[in-house]
Amino acid sequence: MGTLYICATPIGNLSDISSRLTETLESVDCIYGEDTRRVIKLLNHLNIEKPVYSYFVGNEHNKLNEIKNILDSGKDVALLSDAGTPLIADPGSELVSYLVDNDVKI
């Protein structure tokens, strides 16, 4: 079983990235983000290449099983916000609740 990592991203300045965020992004198998353009900009800044998929208000219901299947296969997934950590409430709250109900490690 893989792990979902909820990742806080810098608000404004890419130099505010923590070393823990960098290590997490380097270690996961794929990344879901609210705005894939921002995720790719962040990854380019860090020289990290990973598969990037969208997860935003409007497609979050369709992504629940997709993400759970990836986690069930033993892969780790990072969930990134546009900026800060709003994923706890929106749109990530539905995913987190779904995964908690299915005993997935977060």
* pLDDT tens-digit series, residues 49-86: 999 999 887 888 889 999 999 999 999 999 987 766 65
* High-pLDDT (> 70) share of the chain, %: 92
Is residue 78 exposed (0-12), middle (13-18) or buried (19+ Cβ within 10 Å)? Answer: buried
Q: Is the C-alpha dihedral spanning 97, 100, 102, 106 positive or negative? A: positive
pLDDT computed for residue 22 by the predictor: 94
Domain extent for 14:
4-101
C-beta of residue 43 within 8 angstroms of C-beta of residue 52: yes
Q: Model's pTM, two decimal places?
A: 0.84
Total domain count for the chain?
1
d(CA 38, CA 81): 9
Tell which wins on pLDDT, 95 or 50: 50
Domain at 70, CATH number: 3.40.1010.10
Residue 27: pLDDT over 90: yes
Q: What is the pLDDT of residue 88?
A: 57
